C-alpha cells in the first residue's frame, strides 16, 4: 500500500491540473448500461483515434524488444500516458508500468497488455517491418499495447464519469519470462477486484470474439536434460557409452507418459523440441542435451508430469549406462499456471461483447494447449482472458502467432480498445459498494 501513496498524490494532483471532460451527456451511467459497448466501439473507430493506435502499433512493431528489455516500448507508453495526463507507477518488474484512471477509490478493475517480442526474424516485407535483426513482434503484443492505450485515451476523456478506478497494466516478458508474476510480486493487484486481458487471434474473423468459462489455456513448464556418456570413435562403440542412443531411448520413453500414463480424456502434452549432440560423422560425443515443454490442465497433472519426466530421463539414461541431470529452469522460465476464466466474469463478458458485436459473434472456444502468464493474475483475483478475431479474407490470410509471416490486421485495434474500455467501465458501474464507510479506511486508497 505504502508504495502506492505517492502515486495517489500525483494522481489527484493531475486530476486537478488536467482540464475536465467537456462531455456533459455521459453515456457511462447505470441507466445507459447497454449503450456503453456500442458507444466505445464507435469512438474507437473514429479516424483520429484509430490512426493514433495504428501509429503506436507500427512504432512498436519496428522496434521489437525481448522480455525485460522493453525499455523503448515502455518509454513510448509513458510518453503517451504523460501526454494524456494519466498517472502511473514505473518501473515495476524492470520495464512494467501501472496507470490509474478514475476516482482513486474502489472498485478497482484492471486491464492488461503485454509488451514483449520474440527472438525470430520477420519474413513479412512491408513498410514498418522490424528494424531489429532476429527480433519480431510475431505474437501481436504491439497491437495489445496500442489497444490498451486506445482504451486509456477514451477512458481518460471520460474520467469524471468513472465510478471507481481503472488500473492499466503494461507488463513485460509474457513469452516465457513470467513478467506477470514479477508484476504480481510487486503488489500491483493489491485492492484490484478483477482483471481482463485479451489476445489477437487469426482463428476468428474480424468482429468475432471467443472465450470460455473455466480453464482456457494450459499450465506449462520447460525442461532441459544433459545426458552424459563417454565419447569415442564411432567405429569402436564398445569403448564408448553412447549418449545419442541413450537420449533417443529417453525421448521414446517420455512419449509414453501421455500415451500410457494419463487419462486419454484429459489433455496433456510432452514435446521434445531440442536435441543437440555430436558434431562429426565418426565421433560419438560425450554428452547430448535435450529439452522441451510439458503442458496440463490441472496442477496435480502438471506436477505429476514434472516428476515423471525427471524419473524417466534419469532412469532410462541409466539403462544405457549414462548419467542424466534434469533442469526445469524455473528461475528464468517459471511454470505458467493454467489460465482459468472466472465464471461470473464470463457472463459479464458475454453480455458486453454481445451488445457490442451481436451474440452470434461471441464464440465458445475449446481450451488450447497454449499458455499465458495472465494466469498468474487470474490465480490471485478473478480474471478473464479472451481472443479477438482479426481474420479477413478480403485482406488475404493472416498467419497464426509465432509465424515468421505473422501479420496484425490493424482493423482489430478498435475492437480491443472498445472491449477493454467497456468491460472495465461496466464492471465499475455494476460493482458499486453497497454503502461507503463514514470513516473510510486505508484499504480504500490507492
Ligand atoms: Zn506468443
Ligand atoms: Zn502472445
Q: Which tens digits make up the pLDDT trace of 49-64? A: 999 999 999 999 999 9
Q: Which tens digits make up the pLDDT trace of 319-358?
A: 999 999 999 999 989 999 999 999 999 999 999 999 999 9
CB contact at 8 A, 367 and 217: yes
Give the closest residue to 221 by CA, choosing from 308, 302, 275, 279: 302
- Distance, CA 401 to ligand 1 centroid (Å)? 6
Q: Stretch 251-267: mean pLDDT, rounded?
A: 96
- Distance, CA 119 to ligand 2 centroid (Å)? 13
Q: How many whole angstroms separate alpha carbon 309 and alpha carbon 311?
A: 6
Question: Which residues sit in the known binding site?
Answer: 139, 141, 175, 199, 402
- Distance, CA 386 to ligand 2 centroid (Å)? 12
Q: Which ligand is nearest to the CA of 387?
A: 2
- Distance, CA 72 to ligand 1 centroid (Å)? 20
Residues near 40 by Cβ (< 8 Å), separated by ≥ 6?
A: 154, 356, 417, 418, 421, 422, 425
Alpha carbons within 13 angstroms on the beta-carbon side of residue 237 total: 5
Instruction: Report the mean per-residue pLDDT for the chain.
Output: 93
Q: Stretch 354-365: mean pLDDT, rounded?
A: 98
Q: Which tens digits make up the pLDDT trace of 68-106?
A: 999 999 999 999 999 999 999 999 999 999 999 999 999
CB contact at 8 A, 176 and 165: no
- Distance, CA 402 to ligand 1 centroid (Å)? 6
Q: Is the pLDDT of residue 14 over 80?
A: no
- As given in the structure block, the three cell numbers for residue 164 are 471507481
- Distance, CA 167 to ligand 1 centroid (Å)? 23
| Structure confidence at residue 22 as a pLDDT band (50, 70, 90) | very low
Question: Which residues sit in the known binding site for Mn(2+)?
Answer: 139, 141, 175, 199, 402
Q: Is the pLDDT of residue 187 over 80?
A: yes
Q: Stretch 8-13: mean pLDDT, rounded?
A: 51
- Distance, CA 171 to ligand 1 centroid (Å)? 14
Q: Is the pLDDT of residue 4 over 60?
A: no
Distance of CA 49 to the CA centre of its chain: 24
Packing angle of the helix pair 299-319, 243-261 (nearest 10 deg): 150
What distance, in Å, lies between the first and last C-alpha atoms of the chain? 7
Q: Is the pLDDT of residue 162 over 60?
A: yes
How much is the pTM?
Answer: 0.89
Give all domains of the chain, ordered by start, each with its CATH number: 2-216+338-444 (3.40.630.10), 219-327 (3.30.70.360)
CB contact at 8 A, 220 and 276: no
What pLDDT score was predicted for residue 433? 85
- Distance, CA 139 to ligand 1 centroid (Å)? 5
Give the closest residue to 91 by CA, choosing from 72, 76, 74, 104: 74
Q: Which ligand is nearest to the CA of 115?
A: 2
- As given in the structure block, the three cell numbers for residue 321 are 549406462
- Distance, CA 187 to ligand 1 centroid (Å)? 25
E strands present in 25-124 = 87-92, 96-102, 108-114
Q: Stretch 369-379: mean pLDDT, rounded?
A: 97
What pLDDT score was predicted for residue 250? 98
Residues with CB under 5 A from ligand 1 (ion): 139
Convert 233-272 to b/e letters by CB count within 10 Å (16 or more is b).
Answer: ebeeeeebbbbbbbbbbbbebbeebbeeebeeeebbebeb
- Distance, CA 113 to ligand 2 centroid (Å)? 10
CA angle 212, 216, 219 (to 5 degrees): 165
Q: Which tens digits make up the pLDDT trace of 107-146?
A: 999 999 999 999 999 999 999 999 999 999 999 999 999 9
Q: How many whole angstroms separate alpha carbon 146 and alpha carbon 55?
A: 8
CB contact at 8 A, 390 and 410: no
CB contact at 8 A, 341 and 368: no
What pLDDT score was predicted for residue 443? 45
Q: How many whole angstroms separate alpha carbon 166 and alpha carbon 427?
A: 10
- Collect contacts of 15-18 with beta carbons under 8 A, ≥24 apart: 15/104, 15/159, 17/85, 18/85
| Structure confidence at residue 32 as a pLDDT band (50, 70, 90) | confident
Residues with CB under 5 A from ligand 2 (ion): 139
> Hey, how many other C-beta atoms are within 10 angstroms of the C-beta on 123?
13
Amino acid at each position: 500500500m505504502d508504495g502506492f501513496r505517492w502515486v495517489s498524490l500525483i494522481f489527484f494532483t493531475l486530476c486537478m491540473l488536467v482540464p475536465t471532460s467537456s462531455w456533459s451527456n455521459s453515456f457511462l451511467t447505470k441507466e445507459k448500461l447497454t449503450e456503453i459497448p456500442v458507444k466505445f466501439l464507435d469512438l474507437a473507430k473514429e479516424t483520429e483515434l484509430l490512426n493514433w493506435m495504428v501509429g503506436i502499433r507500427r512504432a512498436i512493431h519496428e522496434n521489437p524488444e525481448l522480455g525485460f528489455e522493453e525499455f523503448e516500448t515502455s518509454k513510448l507508453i509513458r510518453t503517451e500516458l504523460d501526454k494524456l495526463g494519466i498517472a502511473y507507477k514505473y518501473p515495476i518488474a524492470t520495464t512494467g508500468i501501472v496507470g490509474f484512471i478514475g476516482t482513486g477509490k474502489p472498485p478497482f478493475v484492471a486491464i492488461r497488455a503485454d509488451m514483449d517480442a520474440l527472438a525470430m526474424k520477420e519474413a513479412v516485407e512491408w513498410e514498418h517491418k522490424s528494424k531489429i535483426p532476429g527480433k519480431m513482434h510475431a505474437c501481436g503484443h504491439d497491437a495489445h499495447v496500442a489497444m490498451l492505450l486506445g482504451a486509456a485515451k477514451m477512458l481518460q476523456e471520460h474520467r469524471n464519469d468513472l465510478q471507481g478506478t481503472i488500473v492499466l497494466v503494461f507488463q513485460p516478458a509474457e513469452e516465457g519470462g513470467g513478467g506477470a508474476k514479477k508484476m504480481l510480486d510487486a503488489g500491483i493487484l493489491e485492492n484490484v477486484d478483477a482483471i481482463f486481458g485479451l489476445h489477437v487471434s487469426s482463428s476468428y474473423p474480424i468482429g468475432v470474439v471467443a472465450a470460455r468459462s473455466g480453464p482456457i489455456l494450459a499450465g506449462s513448464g520447460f525442461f532441459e536434460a544433459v545426458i552424459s556418456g563417454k565419447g569415442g570413435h564411432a567405429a569402436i562403440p564398445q569403448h564408448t557409452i553412447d549418449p545419442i542412443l541413450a537420449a533417443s531411448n529417453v525421448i521414446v520413453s517420455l512419449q509414453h507418459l501421455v500415451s500410457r500414463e494419463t487419462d486419454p480424456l484429459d489433455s496433456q502434452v510432452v514435446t521434445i523440441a531440442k536435441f543437440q549432440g555430436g558434431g562429426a560423422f565418426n565421433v560419438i560425443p560425450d554428452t547430448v542435451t535435450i529439452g522441451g515443454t510439458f503442458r496440463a490442465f490441472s496442477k496435480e497433472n502438471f506436477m505429476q508430469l514434472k516428476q515423471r519426466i525427471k524419473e524417466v530421463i534419469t532412469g532410462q539414461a541409466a539403462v544405457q549406462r549414462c548419467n542424466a541431470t534434469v533442469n526445469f529452469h524455473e528461475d528464468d522460465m517459471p511454470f505458467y499456471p493454467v489460465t482459468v476464466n472466472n465464471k461470473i466474469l464470463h457472463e459479464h463478458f458475454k453480455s458486453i461483447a454481445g451488445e457490442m458485436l451481436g451474440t452470434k459473434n461471441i464464440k465458445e472456444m475449446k481450451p488450447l494447449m497454449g499458455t499465458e502468464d495472465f494466469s498468474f493474475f487470474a490465480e490471485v483475483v478473478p480474471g478473464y482472458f479472451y481472443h479477438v478475431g482479426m481474420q479477413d479474407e478480403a485482406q488475404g490470410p493472416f498467419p497464426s502467432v509465432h509465424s515468421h509471416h505473422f501479420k496484425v490486421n490493424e482493423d482489430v485495434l478498435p475492437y480491443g480498445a472498445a472491449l477493454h474500455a467497456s468491460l472495465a467501465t461496466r464492471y465499475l458501474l455494476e460493482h458499486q459498494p453497497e454503502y461507503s464507510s463514514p470513516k473510510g479506511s486505508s484499504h480504500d486508497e490507492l
